[in-house]
Structure formats: C-alpha cells, structure tokens
Amino acid sequence: MAEAERTPAEQGADAFDVVAAARTAMPQPLTTTKLAGGATASGDRWFIGAVTGLAAVAVITFAALVVLLVLYAAPAVARFGLSFLTTTVWDPVFERFGAAHLIYGTLVTSAVALLIATPLGVGAALFVAEYAPRWLGDPVSFLVELLAVIPSIIYGLWGFFVLAPFMRAWIEPALQNTVGQLPLLGALFSGPILGRDLLIGGAILSVMILPTIMAITREVFRAVPDTQREGMLALGSTRWEVIRYAVLPYAQGGIAGAAGLGLARALGETMAVTMVVGNSSSAISASLFTPGYTMASAIANQFTEADKEIYFAAIVEVALALLLVSTLVNLLSRLLVWRFVRSVGADVAV
C-alpha cells in the first residue's frame, strides 16, 4: 500500500511498533532473581552485617585503646590533675611528674618540621602537577613517595651518623652567626651547639613528613578545575599568574589539610626523633639548640624503667595526651581536605 493511501491509524500503529522494537533492543537493567526460600535477601543481610562488623572493628579498637589508657593513667590524673600539663618537673625518685616540657618539645619539633617540609612539598607538587612533563613528573613523584616506606629506625641511624654531625658542623654555626645576631630571632639560635637538639629533631621529621604533604598537595592541584586555568590564560595571564591567582587560592584548603596530616605524622614519630633530639633537658627554652624531649621519645626511653605504679601511670598519661592531640589534628586536617573535595565537586557539577 502506498504511503499516501495509509490511514493515520495505520501510520500510528507502525510508529508504535518501531518504538517497541527499539526498546526491546536496548540493554535491560539488571534484576535480582529471588531464589527459593529467600536466599538472596538472606545473603544480603549476612553481607551487610559482615561489612558493618568489619567497619566497626576500627571504631571499637580505638575506643578500647582510649579506655585502656584512661584506666592506666587514672592514678596520675587523680594525683596531679591539670598541673601535669603545666609543670616541667619529672622526678621518678620523689614521684613528681609534669609533662609541659614534653609537650613543648613535641610542638617545637613538629613546627620546625612543618616550616621545612611544607614549602618543599608544595613546591614539588607544583612542579609535578603544573610544569613537569609526564615522563619526568611520575619518576619524581615516585622517588619522593618512596621516602614514606623507609623505616623510622633507618631515618634515626641516618640522622645520628650523617644529619646531626653535618648540622653541628655547618648549619647550626651558620644560623647562630647570622640569624642568631638579630634582636628577637637570635634567641632561637642561642646557646652551645651540641648536635643533639630540637632543631635536628625537627629537620629529620621534615624529611619523614615530606612524602605525605607532597602526595596530597599534588592531588589537590590536579583536582583544581581546568576552567580556572583556561579562564586566566584566556585573559593573557602568564603561567605564574595562573598558579598564583587561580590554582593556589582554590587549593589553599587542601594544602592546609595536607600540612595537618603531615603534622599528625610528626607528632607521633618516635625512634628517629629519639636518636637525635637529645633527651636530656627538662627546661623550656626558646633556643632550638636545647637537647630536649618529645612525648614519644620520653615514652620510648622511660617505659621500661617505670618500676612504680605512679611512674607508669604518668607515662601512660603522656601517651593519652599524645593520642588525643594527634587524633584532633588528624580529624581537623581530614575535615579541611573533605571540604576542599566537596567544593571541587560542587564547582564541577555547576
């Protein structure tokens, strides 16, 4: 029958058949076939229960660890109260304990590590993400991240035999003769140079946290939308102007989060710092040349010597304080990274 002789009803029926055939040819969504006795629903329930239990193991382990530390530290908490965190006396003979100098040493070495590692990590990440070709950027990233798998005892030995003598002979005298002559900053580099001090502890920590900062910052830079860069380039901006005005402001939250995660790593590092920090002074001094303590090094050095209940409780209280501080820093850092990722996702969606 010619097309002109067909009625509208016949033409509509043919169109319906074409649509139906197209729908039949399309891939069909997967459907769940219910087995006899509800086996599929039962299997789902078992699987959900299993993965939920596995996820709960980490939370339960952390909670149990905190409870255990609180129980063992209870005698020291009850006896010393807040003075434990504000005094510097550490006398096992007369059972007088204060951890202010341990907290100070931990914060100083971690701050020194951040001041050294953050510019290096951000600079390396910028080079890999913005400038280096793929054939060069990937090997550089691999070599920097390889530092993260080196055991801390190896870092400690390297720091003891190589870094500490080098800094004692060259770096620290140079700092004392230059920056040490300034009115305010000079206090940071005053006193005798012993080669086992807070500055060297911070320096070795900076090497250890560099891979963390560099790897996270690199991914943060790569997550910045290309439209940011393309818009600046379209306006005639140079490569540096693109990085300064488009990339860095957009990524500053992620950079802060990366530095915070590096700080959390530095706070709890033990063996490498213990071998180079000095472990001999309970004084709180502005000088970075002070052979001080950190919380982790004090625990490692004195844990086996705790022959009294209150001595052991004081050391456990130091561990509890270290755990809580590290946890808070880690949570804050991950919150910053999460907010950056969410903001990137929202911009991409728009």
Rounded-to-integer distance, Cα 310 and Cα 295, Å: 17
Residue 96: enclosing H or E segment and its boundaries?
strand 96-97
> Within 13 A of 295's CA, how many CA atoms are on the CB side?
27
Q: Of 316, 314, 269, 317, which Cα lies nearest the Cα of 296?
A: 269
Q: Is 249 within a domain?
A: yes
Kindly state the tokens that stand for 61.
Answer: 């382990």
Looking up residue 110, the CATH number of its domain turns out to be 1.10.3720.10
Angle, helices 100-126 vs 248-268, to 10°: value is 140
Output the pLDDT for position 1: 44
Q: Is 152 within a domain?
A: yes
Contacts of 119 (CB under 8 A, 6+ apart): none
Output the pLDDT for position 38: 52
Q: Is 226 within a domain?
A: yes
Length of the chain, please?
Answer: 350
Q: Is 287 within a domain?
A: yes
Kindly state the tokens that stand for 122.
Answer: 């951000």
Q: Are the C-beta atoms of residues 272 and 162 closer than 8 Å to each other?
A: no
- State residue 278 phi and psi, 5-degree precision: 110, -55
Rounded-to-integer distance, Cα 21 and Cα 28, Å: 13
Q: Are the C-beta atoms of residues 218 and 128 closer than 8 Å to each other?
A: yes
Q: Is 197 within a domain?
A: yes
Q: Is 339 within a domain?
A: no
Q: Is 299 within a domain?
A: yes
Partnered with residue 337 across adjacent β-strands are none
Residue bearing tokens 């901006």:
237
- Which residues form the domain of 254? 101-307
Output the pLDDT for position 100: 93
Residue bearing tokens 């339960």:
60
Give, for all 350 residues of the chain, the pLDDT tens digit: 444 455 544 554 554 454 455 555 555 554 455 554 455 677 888 989 899 999 999 899 999 999 999 999 999 999 999 999 999 999 999 999 999 999 999 999 999 999 999 999 999 999 999 999 989 998 998 988 888 889 999 999 999 999 999 999 999 999 999 999 999 999 999 999 999 999 999 999 999 999 999 999 999 999 988 888 989 989 899 999 999 999 998 898 889 888 988 998 899 899 999 999 999 888 899 999 999 999 999 999 998 889 899 999 999 999 999 998 888 888 888 787 787 777 766 655 55
Kindly state the tokens that stand for 227.
Answer: 């439209």
Kindly state the tokens that stand for 252.
Answer: 């500053």
Rounded-to-integer distance, Cα 112 and Cα 144, Å: 20
Partnered with residue 90 across adjacent β-strands are 97
- How many domains is the chain partitioned into structurally? 1
* C-alpha dist (Å) from residue 255 to 6, 130, 157: 70, 15, 31
Contacts of 280 (CB under 8 A, 6+ apart): 196, 291
Query: How big is the CA angle at 235 (ends 232 and 239), to the nearest 5 degrees?
Result: 45
Kindly state the tokens that stand for 223.
Answer: 């997550």
Contacts of 286 (CB under 8 A, 6+ apart): 187, 188, 190
Q: Is 348 within a domain?
A: no
